[in-house]
Structure 1
Amino acid sequence: MFYRPADGHPLPHNPFNAIVAPRPIAWIGTRGALGDNLAPYSFFNAVAYTPPQVVFGSTSAKADRDGTKDTLSQIREGGVFSINLVAPEDLAAMNASSAPLPAGADEFIHAGVAKAECETIDCPRVATAPATLECRLVQVITLLGEANFLVHGEVTGIHIRPDCLKDGRFEPPARLTRLGYRDYALIEQLFTLDRPPGG
């Protein structure tokens, strides 16, 4: 089949976010005048090594956050955020933290997530995450469409859970990924591939 997104599609669910998959999940912690916030975002990836940089997409808005969501509103306010990887055992908590709670509600408490402080920024992080990236905001780019934004951050600190380091490599027991729709997957089998000379 072929369709033009501007014209819609004949399927019962939009296939776009299931096509670009699997995607890592950024479980983002923020702090603002109303308190702490935690929410998952699956339009997320790393984009540069030196300095290390990440981006994530914020889409849609809440009525109590002036054209965006709690996460982006608080990042604009404080200029920092933490990106926590989601351990498989935290799947239910991650899902619970996606609830559209009122501005000022603490999803760490709502979802029963252990909270810790970051080292380089004034921001909460998930204490049990396999890894956490402490980030300073570089820029927010307005994207096409209503309430679509790209958030660009520089990584200023990295936490790695000790059991996720093996022989000097970051190797968590499994990686939770988003596949689109309501589908998720665990990546548990790895293989290595040598690049061509000079690659």
Structure 2
Amino acid sequence: MPVTSSPECNLIFYTNPQSRGQIARWMLEEVGAEYRQEILQYGSQMKSEEYLNINPMGKVPTIVHNGKVVTECAAICAYLADAFPEAGLAPSLDNRVEYYRWLFFSAGPLEAALVNRSLDVTVKKEQETMVGYGSYDRVLDVLSERLQNSPYIAGNEFTAADVYVGSHILWGLFFGTMDKRPGFKEYSDRLVQRSAFIAAKKIDEQLIAEAEKGG
């Protein structure tokens, strides 16, 4: 298993199992890298001076690899794909158009639309040109069209972009924060069968169970 307790490990993963850290965990399992996990609690631990020196936002996830700090889930996914090329999770440089397009589509329009929807923020018709995603329905329609015509978000092969995009869809469907669209379920069903997804999920679920038992 990639998780280690060795203090000499050159990849440190700061997370909380009930956070977006689940996305980074899945990506770490996909690349098969050995990493040391540091579980931070919401509140004082994430806002401690020590951690704010690593991530000034006081949020998780964060990875530190060979002394280099990477924050933001989309960036972590893209970085790990490049840092561990043997995993084959990033297309060649001359074939990254769709990979970049959908990775940043999800980090921008998709996440903004989903968050605003969850917060009951209503964007009026005349305000749609002012927000990066236009409208919630348009974002989901565009994503649905893509997934009806491509087995994975960047094409025929699974990439790091699927970890990020797929996490949004899996959570959205599970928690009811995303409306169902054609192609979403079929795509999700392919993702949850991956061994790295299963392994990552098992680790976080165990951590959650231990925290609840201890609390």
TM-score (norm 2): 0.25
More strand by share: 1
